[in-house]
Structure 1
């Protein structure tokens, strides 16, 4: 029966398989291999996976949570040649920065297919700049064909020795595999992006946004079309113990937790007004915080269709997911355990992505 199914129908069925099951299907015969290769085009129906990557070198491993069967999987990263720190996901890929050098060196990898490649060196060597990713079409969970990486600020070597803030913005284009300096920027913005801004960013409606990590929080935005900068305020900025920007339905969304134990979610409307759209259920928030009862160590990551709050590998996670065409629900996910054995906890950086087993030309250059 299976051999008589039409190609498109079989590919659609394969799109519901987890990466490990799909890998088995690909090895069955040539016809299944071809169907499995193209099944990723219909994987937009699947919820994203949470990938827990260590923030420090820990045996070149990471852990992936499959939301379909609620299981954790161990993934070896022994194919990565350098010590790295994750920055963001680009559909089925992860963007890293090398930690073996002070100057920024970026790389991309697919933890499921064990492919890895360094991006070219920047035109201007710089230390600790702000980084942002802009995808060609982030709503389709298919192999990446085009994306851009923006790098702003950072420290660069001064002509007379020493170091100075770099008041320029540089862009990498995956189609041409090259960097180019595209714009100068106010020095005060370069300083803040270098000193107070983590690598997390959000692209929404033609604007790249970064949030400062110092309280009181504020947001800096770069308009790609007009090459201009602006600053946005943050709701309850003086009361937030943590604040993170995430994408949601193509809009800019802010997640923040206060000292009274509450965590709120705001969305920026067309008039640049922050609207409160949701609160994290109190019992889930307290379960996440544990005995600390402080949001200070909380981290948050988002992707269109999901928002996740987490702390470390051993602690549980709070998810807010789009379960049915705009209907969002809250879920609790237990901390990482493999085959019933709970792992020792350690600091992680989480990314949300849709696993992809298709080969990418971006990783074979």
Structure 2
């Protein structure tokens, strides 16, 4: 089952007059489509069966006599290429499926899959501690309840990285930090930093080594100082899961406060400094040092956001005309020339359909190939696929009307079976 998508040109400004965004529905692949070989026919039938079970929300035992005739190597390849939620449900359908999915070989194969197979979820965070949060799965075009009830305490996600989520738990008088994989339901309570977290640190980032599972949690905050052209200092502390120790990093002076928008790409965390002109601070996890990124942002770009696109740093921003956003541009950083190369755009005709507030302001969150756009007053979300250059409308979950989600924030989460 594939979503119907709208193709958006990325370099030409010639926009088809009939370009519209409507509501999109899943459509079944044609059953009479000819397959190239018998392997592909088997894969298609297995995938269709599991998707139908996911859609019907039913769990039925499969006939072992049928599934035992399928070669195990083919079964592993098929299962490993399915969305995470479908894989998890598959463990309830067959004993052989459960055995395959629990094997170390399957977990390794699944973790090595291309990002196109396991696309990042959009995780919404409400203002309160809770035991579950709302997430959108783009592979299934489905809102799901991402549960943390197995932890047996209330939590609030603060950052995520490659299958892991850093959680703040407890109350104002008693709190702690936890690194958790909500898919495998594994977690580690980590010691608090040297400087009290809730009273000081306001930003965070999570670096994860996909092969070893070793992670580093970065907590940082910016504080004003009284003298000098650089009027603020960045205080940073890093926790290493291998040594289980916190390390204080050398303070870094900056001229302006930080914007909450940040991203991690290829071992470096990038943070935007507020106010014009837009500038970017970068923290290298290997050298444990901050530097200013020497890549000037075009002056006509506003509301800048950053994301990782398969190891490359990508910038999203709006073009203003008379203080209003007309178009949205997407750029990729050329590491050799330190220039921003335009790789996509969302034209005015599309922006007019979902930038409904008086200021036409927007917020966006992205990772991998996907960018999610939201804006005040718009009853739906927009998802843009960078590689395919497609737009898609996402109907919001009814839970977003709950007052606890008003003014909510979010980030992308890459679901993983391992770690």
TM category (shorter chain) comes to 0.7 to 0.9
Residues 249-295 of structure 1, C-alpha deviations (whole Å, 9 max, x = no match): 31221111233321111222122122222212333323332244512
Deviation at 1:303, TM superposition (A): 1.8
Q: How does 1:345-356 map to 2 (within 5 A)?
A: 346-356=406-416
1:198 lines up with 2:260 in the alignment? yes
Q: Residues of 2 paired with 1:63 and 1:15: CA distance? A: 25
Which residue of structure 2 aligns with residue 303 of structure 1?
A: 367
Selected match of 2:201 from 125, 128, 151: 128
1:315–1:212 Cα change, 3 Å: farther
Cα-Cα RMSD: 3.6
SS across alignment from 1:21: helix
Is contact 1:26–1:36 with CA below 8 Å preserved after alignment? yes
Deviation at 1:228, TM superposition (A): 4.4
Q: Residues of 1 paired with 2:185 and 2:142: CA distance? A: 21
SS across alignment from 1:286: helix
Q: Residues of 1 paired with 2:382 and 2:191: CA distance? A: 37
1:27 lines up with 2:88 in the alignment? no
Is contact 2:268–2:284 with CA below 8 Å preserved after alignment? yes
Which residue of structure 1 aligns with residue 123 of structure 2?
A: 52
- Matched length: 331
Is contact 2:381–2:396 with CA below 8 Å preserved after alignment? no
1:280 lines up with 2:353 in the alignment? no
1:70–1:352 Cα change, 3 Å: same
Deviation at 1:147, TM superposition (A): 2.4
Which residue of structure 1 aligns with residue 220 of structure 2?
A: 152
1:184 lines up with 2:253 in the alignment? no
1:329 lines up with 2:389 in the alignment? yes
Q: How does 1:176-325 map to 2 (within 5 A)?
A: 176-181=243-248, 183-186=249-252, 188-189=253-254, 192=256, 195-198=257-260, 200-204=262-266, 206-232=267-293, 234-237=296-299, 240=302, 242-258=303-319, 259-269=324-334, 270-295=336-361, 298-311=362-375, 315-321=379-385
Residues 13-44 of structure 1, C-alpha deviations (whole Å, 9 max, x = no match): 21244444323321345432121235453353
Selected match of 1:172 from 239, 251, 275: 239
- For structure 2, the 5+ residue unaligned runs are 1-65, 224-231
Q: Residues of 1 paired with 2:159 and 2:146: CA distance? A: 18
- For structure 1, the 5+ residue unaligned runs are 156-164, 361-365
1:10 lines up with 2:78 in the alignment? no
Is contact 2:272–2:278 with CA below 8 Å preserved after alignment? yes
Deviation at 1:336, TM superposition (A): 2.1
Deviation at 1:116, TM superposition (A): 4.6
After TM superposition, the score normalised by the length of structure 2 is 0.66
Is contact 1:132–1:199 with CA below 8 Å preserved after alignment? no
Deviation at 1:226, TM superposition (A): 4.6
Residues 85-105 of structure 1, C-alpha deviations (whole Å, 9 max, x = no match): 433332223223458449995
Is contact 1:51–1:352 with CA below 8 Å preserved after alignment? yes
After TM superposition, the score normalised by the length of structure 1 is 0.75
Residues 103-123 of structure 1, C-alpha deviations (whole Å, 9 max, x = no match): 995433334455554322113
1:107 lines up with 2:172 in the alignment? no
1:202–1:25 Cα change, 3 Å: closer
Greater radius of gyration (CA): 2
SS across alignment from 1:170: strand
Residues 142-176 of structure 1, C-alpha deviations (whole Å, 9 max, x = no match): 8x712222233456xxxxxxxxx876532222333
Deviation at 1:56, TM superposition (A): 0.7
Q: Residues of 2 paired with 1:21 and 1:222: CA distance? A: 37
Deviation at 1:65, TM superposition (A): 2.1
Q: Residues of 1 paired with 2:160 and 2:371: CA distance? A: 14
